[in-house]
Structure 1
Amino acid sequence: MATLKISMPDDLKDFIDAQIGAKGYGSRSEYLCELVSRQRDVEKLRNLLLEGANTGPGKVVTEDTFKRMREELRGRVLD
């Protein structure tokens, strides 16, 4: 695991320490890793959404669409 040294204003350090106590994190490192991981997940989701938006016009999905999909999947399982 890599080590990262950061500097921040005292009020942010105090906020982090308060979050650790209030939310049950074991350390500052654990708290910050959680924040960075969440941001990474947000970026991944954003990229997937943009990728999907750039694939062209969508199709109308109705209950019949799902019914056909279920029937197709059942057919695959039974084959």
Structure 2
Amino acid sequence: MATMTVSLPDPMKEWIEAQIAKGEYASASDYVRDLVRRDRARRDQELTIEELRQIVADSRASGTGNRSVDEVFAEAERIAAARGLIRE
């Protein structure tokens, strides 16, 4: 396993030490590894600019919809919840 040295402001260092003291993490390394795993999982769920542009283009090409704003937002919430971005 590789070693990496990171400099943190005192409040951040104290925060990590508090999480370790609570028993949530075994060490600062354990805490940082968890942050990296969570960040990678979150980024894996993000859409790229190209994907967003394609969604907009598809939407424009499909013409005027017949769903209400409430229906559109309900669907958006279902999609976000399925991706773990919000809780239902």
Query: Fold-level match, TM-score > 0.5?
Result: yes
Identity level (%): 36
Would you tell me which structure has more helix in proportion to its own residues?
1
5+ residue gaps, structure 1, are: 58-79
One-letter amino acid matched to 1:42:
R
Residue 47 of structure 1: aligned partner: 47
User: Once the 2 structures are TM-superposed, how far is the Cα of residue 24 of structure 1 from its aligned partner?
Assistant: 2.4
Distance in structure 1 (CA, Å) of the matches to 2:40 and 2:32: 12
User: Once the 2 structures are TM-superposed, how far is the Cα of residue 10 of structure 1 from its aligned partner?
Assistant: 1.1
User: Once the 2 structures are TM-superposed, how far is the Cα of residue 51 of structure 1 from its aligned partner?
Assistant: 4.1
Distance in structure 1 (CA, Å) of the matches to 2:44 and 2:53: 14
Distance in structure 2 (CA, Å) of the matches to 1:30 and 1:53: 38
User: Once the 2 structures are TM-superposed, how far is the Cα of residue 36 of structure 1 from its aligned partner?
Assistant: 1.1
Work out the number of aligned pairs and report it: 58
User: Which moves more between the two structures, 39-48 or 26-35?
Assistant: 39-48
5+ residue gaps, structure 2, are: 60-88
Residue 18 of structure 2: aligned partner: 18
Pairs within 5 Å for 1:1-79: 1-47=1-47, 51=51, 54=54, 56=58
In our comparison, the structure showing a higher alpha carbon Rg is 1
Distance in structure 2 (CA, Å) of the matches to 1:15 and 1:42: 22
What TM-score results when the alignment is normalised by the length of structure 2? 0.52
